[in-house]
Amino acid sequence: MFEFERDHYIQQHIDKLGKKPNIIGMHWNNDDELIAGLIKAVETNTPYDERLLLDEDLFSSILISLNHLT
């Protein structure tokens, strides 16, 4: 039994696709959206990767922010 429902779908992703989904926290406050994305990934045999959901400018600004932390 999983503590959170999303963990069940994360495990399904790992079992079917052989790797963990790339979750960066885009849906930290909405498990329903995360779960829907994980289900779609498993059904379409396409790894879940939230980075691909970012637009180019937002992705660049996140990388810049992360570089300032190091």
Give the Cα separation of 5 and 8 in Å (integer).
Answer: 6
Q: Residues 1-28: what's their mean pLDDT?
A: 94
Triad 28, 34, 37: Cα angle to 5°: 150
Decide if pLDDT at 33 tops 80. yes
pTM for the whole structure:
0.76
Give the Cα separation of 1 and 27 in Å (integer).
Answer: 23
pLDDT tens figures, 58-69? 777 777 888 777
Decide if pLDDT at 3 tops 80. yes
Confidence of residue 70 (pLDDT cuts 50, 70, 90): low
